[in-house]
Copies of this chain bind each other. A is one copy, B any other.
């Protein structure tokens, strides 16, 4: 049985490169040879044991590659085709999928819903920080890369762009809106780009790391706020002339950012939350008009599926959004442990790394 290299979660603080069999291809699967992938903040949570996965699992959920082999029932694709798949790989047939909630896909459950059930790669099945990955429900999830786009150009589509844009989409950003994005990591930066793409005219990025704030401006932020330079709520209210924002996007996952997001909303505004939280959240009574402010708080897990990926790659192809500044470092798969070392400690101004087998 042929074998391949893969980054495997062995134990807390140990993700190592090792060998595994190249998986067999079931009737609905596709085997994809990875040409480029990356490391996500979530992978770091896995590394640190903060998010539990099975020992021995291959990590990674952002695949760019080439179709090596198609399952017997898979139609509409051909071997050798360059493709991506989303970080979230819905089945297409659960009740969640059929009611427009595919990220909460629960194909094996009684009612077809499972919280975060659409996230499979590197969570409940082997992921893509490897030479090969098996894509489930391939007809739902494989999306051909348009001619002329490089691996790195589409590397953000599977997760970072999809998640970040969804912050603006679920927030219902409209032409002329004021939007704030809390935390300018890769997802927050994509939320900035998404707000810009949907017609927001005041876009405020909040962070304290200068290079991130500079990239935010490139991606459409009209203002940046350094939360270390004074009360963040006051700064944002001043920038909006006391009005507050229509949509506040939370892209970190902490009480402080969540609470500030709520406090800067105009009455009737929407808090669109993308962060992964680690503890209970508190909604302050005075920032919530005691429940009478017509506020909305919405949360979103990265949308997946081939149509989503097609649209995101169209955005890249259009040139309307240029995420290339996000890829700051490049590693071979053989050196992925070093990549984790750098990325987990956020050394050297790293934003995203490109990993190539």
Chain A residues packing against B (C-beta within 8 Å): 27-28, 72-73, 75-76, 91-93, 95-104, 106-108, 110-117, 119, 137, 139-140, 165, 169, 174-177, 194, 196-199, 201-202, 222, 241-244, 253, 266-268, 273-285, 288-301, 305-308, 310-312, 314-315, 317-318, 320
Contact = CB atoms under 8 A, between A and B. Distances in A.
A317 B201 CA distance: 8
Given A73-B27, A285-B278, A301-B293, A111 B241 contact: yes
Nearest to A302: B292
Contacts of A174: 169, 311
A135 to B, nearest CB: 12
Contact of A96 (B111, B222, B267, B289): B267
A29 B149 CA distance: 38
A293 B116 contact: yes
B290 A73 contact: no
A279 B93 CA distance: 37
Contacts of A117: 267
Contacts of A290: 276-278
Nearest to A271: B297
Contacts of A75: 107-108
30 contacts: A27-B27, A76-B108, A95-B310, A98-B102, A98-B140, A99-B268, A99-B307, A101-B267, A104-B266, A104-B294, A113-B243, A115-B267, A115-B289, A115-B292, A116-B293, A117-B267, A175-B194, A196-B320, A197-B198, A201-B314, A201-B318, A274-B291, A278-B290, A279-B285, A280-B283, A280-B285, A293-B299, A294-B300, A294-B301, A296-B298
A314 B202 contact: yes
A142 B8 CA distance: 38
A96 B281 contact: no
Contacts of A291: 253, 273-277, 299
Contacts of A113: 243-244, 266-268
A307 B112 contact: yes
Contact of A93 (B140, B243, B267, B294): B140
Contacts of A308: 98
Contacts of A137: 93
A73 B139 CA distance: 14
Nearest to A320: B201
